[in-house]
Amino acid sequence: AALRESFVWKAHKQNQRVVNLQPQASFKVAILGAAGGIGQPLALLVKMSPLVSVLHLYDIANVKGVAADLSHCNTPSQVLDFTGNSELADSLKGVDVVVIPAGVPRKPGMTRDDLFNINASIVKTLIEAVADNCPDAFIHIISNPVNSTVPIAAEVLRQKGVYDPKKLFGVTTLDVVRANTFVAQKKNLKLIDVDVPVIGGHAGITILPLLSKTKPSVSFTEEEVQELTVRIQNAGTEVVEAKAGAGSATLSMAYAAARFVESSLRALDGDGDVYECAYVQSELTELPYFASRIKLGRKGLEAIISSDLQGLTEYEEKALEALKPELKSSIEKGVAFAQKQA
Ligand code: NAD
Ligand code: LMR
């Protein structure tokens, strides 16, 4: 009986129904960096989506085996593999959503910014290909440091004359996933009910959970706010240290990225009630890029939910001011890199 009630069993039965039907929609998704720690479980989760008809897996190596393996799952989407720069363009043709987890992860003792030198170039090269081959796609950037790689992507798209700020997203869903999990645990709430908006950016103190805006409404002591905020800000490092040199979050990240892909596909499919947090071009603060809750629609970002920034607690107000200098300099670093390379 426990098995029948389990999430896995329900997902399996749901999938069985999906298999017997045609896909519910026929979107094409590409994952760049698909053979990596995030890429593989993300590909599996996207393969389970009834909204996807074709899944393109691109990496510089090892992607053939991943695609062969995944293609045996009896869910509707077709899986195609693409290896190396000569196949990059083909991996992007006709794609509706492109997800980018390509790049190196942290090791203990490193900050996300320490990844800049390697990942900035990787993101630049991949975005140039996106601009040339699927300029209308939703672009989901996972590669760190997200606070800088999103501005790099925007500059590259701008240089190519195809930048649509409504379609470029830094993926911060994992911060929300973590905040929801930790708050539910601390306050004994049903996980499915909890939703905490997380704003700012995706590194250290730039990650700011707005605990006062938690749904359902819940009160926290000052100590709880401090403890939860710091845990959410350091959750990536918690995983990096636990993995002790073998990389950073991959499974929870794949779960979070799959949620953001699913939300994007639902929005593309015409669902008018899709909200997520993401790091986007924004006028919410004086910074040009900022993570907040957004409404997604067929054309991408439909609205930025500005009300989340009203009525903040003193703790949140202070934390918001404190994060701005770091976020600003990460943005400027990204922009300067892209402009120097142009
Ligand atoms: P990984 O090393 O396991 O996988 C990265 C993959 O990228 C590898 O398969 C590699 O071959 C591929 N790759 C490298 N250069 C490439 C290129 N030019 N084109 C295509 N593919 C290329 O790393 P991972 O654990 O999957 O993490 C990937 C990135 O995601 C890291 O930068 C990490 O910091 C970041 N990350 C972000 C979040 C977030 O919340 N946004 C969470 C976790 C990890
Ligand atoms: C995370 O938040 O887990 C990722 O950004 C990876 C990292 O380096 O912490």
Half-sphere exposure of 98 (CA within 13 A, CB side): 31
294 φ/ψ angles, rounded to the nearest 5 degrees: -135, 160
pLDDT for 326 equals 98
Distance 144 CA to ligand 1 centre (A): 8
Question: Is a pLDDT exceeding 90 seen at residue 292?
Answer: yes
Would you say the C-alpha torsion 54, 24, 180, 307 has a positive or negative sign?
A: positive
pLDDT for 24 equals 75
Nearest one of 171, 148, 198 to 327, comparing CA atoms: 148
What was the ipTM of the complex prediction? 0.99
pLDDT for 1 equals 45
pLDDT for 25 equals 78
Q: Pick the catalytic residue: 56, 72, 140, 202?
A: 202
Query: Which of 149, 253, 279 to mutate to test ligand 2, by most ligand atoms within 8 A of the CB atom?
Result: 253
Q: Is 249 in the pocket of ligand 2 (CB under 6 A)?
A: yes
Whole-number Cα distances in Å, 226 to 66, 208, 288? 42, 11, 28
pLDDT for 155 equals 98
- 202 catalytic residue (yes or no): yes
Work out which ligand 2 atom sits closest to the CA atom of 249. 3
| pLDDT confidence bin for 8, thresholds 50/70/90 | low
What's the pLDDT tens digit per position in 29-48? Answer: 999 999 999 999 999 999 99
pLDDT over 90, % of the chain? 92
Q: Whose CA is nearest to atom 8 of ligand 2?
A: 106
Distance 33 CA to ligand 1 centre (A): 6
What residue ranges in the chain does DSSP mark as E strands? 27-32, 52-59, 78-83, 97-100, 138-141, 168-170, 198-200, 207-209, 274-281, 289-297, 300-304
Average pLDDT over residues 94-100: 98
- ∠37-147-111 over CA atoms, to 5°? 60
Higher pLDDT, 22 or 119: 119
Tokens 């996972």 locate to 142
Average pLDDT over residues 196-202: 98
| pLDDT confidence bin for 12, thresholds 50/70/90 | low
Average pLDDT over residues 247-255: 98
Q: Is 101 in the pocket of ligand 1 (CB under 6 A)?
A: yes
Question: Is a pLDDT exceeding 70 seen at residue 16?
Answer: no
Ligand nearest to the CA of 247: 1
Work out which ligand 2 atom sits closest to the CA atom of 110. 8
- In angstroms, the CA 259 to CA 142 distance is 13
Q: Which tokens belong to 278?
A: 């993401």
Work out which ligand 2 atom sits closest to the CA atom of 175. 2
Q: What is the mean pLDDT of the chain?
A: 94
**What b/e readout covers 213-224, taking b as 16+ CB neighbours within 10 angstroms?**
bbeeebebeeee
Distance 255 CA to ligand 2 centre (A): 14
Ligand nearest to the CA of 59: 1
Q: Is 248 in the pocket of ligand 2 (CB under 6 A)?
A: yes
Whether residue 66 contacts residue 35, with contact meaning beta carbons closer than 8 Å, is answered with yes
Average pLDDT over residues 324-333: 98
| pLDDT confidence bin for 342, thresholds 50/70/90 | confident
